[in-house]
Amino acid sequence: MENASKALIIAGAILLAILIISLGILIYNQASGVVNSNSMSEVERQNFNQKFIQYDGTAVRGSTVRALLQAVLSNNLSADSDDRRVTVNGGRGTLSMSKNATSAPTEDVKTGSSYTVKCEYGSTGGNTGLVTNIVITEN
């Protein structure tokens, strides 16, 4: 009888230990979910980048570059954080647009000209893997 009561106490202690460990794991998973929710998922990152990657190339017409500038402006005006804003730099020309621009420099783009568009990606902080800068040079 004495051994049976000790066995029940030990079994109860083991069940209690398992319960406490499971609760700890549950709390840890919920906390890590909150931390990871600040970064973008891979699908969100691809959707964000696709808005700009579609213009990437070496023989892009001026009218397409103007559409790209409007897309960048629209993105920057609606972005909720600075990490999701994109800058535009012209290689040899005056074509440039900051993250806080309120208009696109479409008048600097010649419709009949050909341009090279190159997307550059962020490597730190919240913009890792996102398009952060677009370099446009006239061919």
The tens digit of pLDDT for each residue in 75-90 reads: 888 888 777 888 888 8
Length in residues, the chain = 139
- What is residue 32's predicted lDDT score, i.e. its pLDDT? 72
User: Does pLDDT of 16 surpass 90?
Assistant: yes
Write down the mean pLDDT value for the chain.
83
Q: Are residues 85 and 34 in the same domain?
A: no
Q: Are residues 66 and 128 in the same domain?
A: yes
- For residue 107, the enclosing domain spans 42-138
User: Does pLDDT of 35 surpass 70?
Assistant: no
- Angle between helix axes 62-78 and 42-53 (nearest 10 degrees) is 140
Q: Are residues 61 and 128 in the same domain?
A: yes
The tens digit of pLDDT for each residue in 103-129 reads: 778 777 888 888 888 999 888 776 778
Q: Are residues 58 and 30 in the same domain?
A: no
Q: Are residues 13 and 56 in the same domain?
A: no
Say how many domains are in the chain: 2
Q: Are residues 57 and 104 in the same domain?
A: yes
Q: Are residues 15 and 57 in the same domain?
A: no
Q: Are residues 28 and 57 in the same domain?
A: no
Closest CA to 78 of 70, 89, 88: 70
Q: What is the pTM of this model?
A: 0.65
Q: Are residues 23 and 70 in the same domain?
A: no
